[in-house]
């Protein structure tokens, strides 16, 4: 999916919601398979979101069966929603090229999350595919972000250096950045560095990030945001009404998003 189409569907649906398909077999209702659960969640939420983000760890831990479930899930999502492989890959040379082929060609994702620690030659292979995206980790929500990302050298923090450097490797049409919702107070400064790029913002919902603050400080003229919610939607109910509960939660978030547009 290209930049123009992504902006179009955001405007059409008055939403910039990304549903994280972090499907934990231990948390889904008894008697419901992982694939059935994913399909029910997709059916319930697709009018209210613009993107889906399967976290690859929940699938690859199941071996071949998990990869099959992932493939079927992406096919079921179709082409009217942006798809994100939350894989956090990043290696050099042909290794990155084949990671990119895995998610872009074999599984048909629009984008993949990438860790930039190994530098330019670990990210560039993901940028060589037409209408595909690298979503680069920049400033995350987890407590361990303090260990490296906020390290200050001179007048810059490490994540600011990442944003500046990576923005010279790609363009706003093939590169996004992960910025946690619990860091919303830093979004205004981040927008000074990358004013035109999309930001993937996890942490709204179960993690307590503020949608209003994310919109206030992170939105640009093309919206420029994909705000992810996972657990708050997937596990809105642990009963047989899980799909209708997920629909209710997704619709609530979409309405809140519409009010910010």
Under the banding of pLDDT at 50, 70 and 90, the label for residue 241 is very high
Q: How far is CA 193 from the centre of its chain?
A: 20
**Does position 54 have pLDDT exceeding 60, yes or no?**
yes
The tens digit of pLDDT for each residue in 2-53 reads 999 999 999 999 999 999 999 999 999 999 999 999 999 999 999 999 999 9
The tens digit of pLDDT for each residue in 124-173 reads 999 999 999 999 999 988 888 888 988 888 888 899 999 999 999 999 99
Domain 3-258: give its CATH architecture. Alpha-Beta Barrel (3.20)
State the distance between the two ends of the chain, measured CA to CA, in whole angstroms: 22
Q: Does residue 14 have an active-site annotation?
A: no
**Does position 207 have pLDDT exceeding 70, yes or no?**
no
In the prediction, which pLDDT does 209 show? 65
Q: Report how far apart, in Å, the C-alpha atoms of 29 and of each of 100, 157, 183, 243 are.
A: 34, 44, 33, 11
The tens digit of pLDDT for each residue in 174-206 reads 999 999 876 667 888 899 999 999 999 987 755
**Does position 251 have pLDDT exceeding 90, yes or no?**
yes
Catalytic residue among 14, 88, 101, 156: 88
In the prediction, which pLDDT does 180 show? 84
Under the banding of pLDDT at 50, 70 and 90, the label for residue 93 is confident
Domain ranges in the chain?
3-258
In the prediction, which pLDDT does 213 show? 86
Q: What percent of the chain has pLDDT over 90?
A: 82
Kindly report the average pLDDT of the chain as a whole number.
Answer: 93
């Amino acid at each position: 999916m290209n930049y123009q189409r992504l902006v179009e569907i955001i405007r059409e649906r008055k939403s910039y919601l990304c549903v994280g398909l972090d499907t934990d077999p231990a948390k889904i209702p008894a008697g419901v398979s992982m694939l059935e659960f994913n399909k029910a969640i997709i059916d319930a939420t697709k009018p209210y979101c613009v993107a889906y983000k399967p976290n690859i760890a929940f699938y690859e831990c199941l071996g071949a069966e998990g990869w099959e479930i992932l493939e079927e899930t992406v096919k079921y999502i179709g082409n009217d929603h942006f798809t994100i492989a939350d894989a956090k890959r990043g290696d050099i040379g042909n290794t990155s090229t084949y990671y990119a082929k895995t998610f872009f060609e074999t599984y048909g994702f629009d984008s993949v999350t990438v860790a930039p620690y190994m530098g330019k030659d670990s990210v560039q292979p993901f940028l060589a595919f037409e209408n595909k995206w690298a979503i680069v980790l920049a400033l995350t929500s987890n407590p361990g972000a303090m260990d490296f990302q906020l390290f200050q050298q001179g007048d810059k923090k490490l994540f600011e250096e990442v944003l500046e450097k990576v923005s010279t490797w790609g363009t706003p049409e093939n590169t996004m950045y992960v910025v946690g919702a619990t860091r919303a107070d830093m979004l205004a400064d981040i927008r000074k560095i990358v004013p035109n790029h999309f930001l993937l913002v996890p942490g709204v919902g179960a993690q307590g990030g503020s949608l209003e603050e994310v919109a206030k400080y992170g939105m640009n003229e093309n919206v420029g945001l994909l705000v992810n919610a996972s657990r708050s939607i997937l596990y809105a109910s642990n009963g047989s009404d899980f799909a209708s509960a997920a629909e209710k939660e997704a619709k609530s978030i979409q309405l809140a998003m519409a009010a910010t547009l």
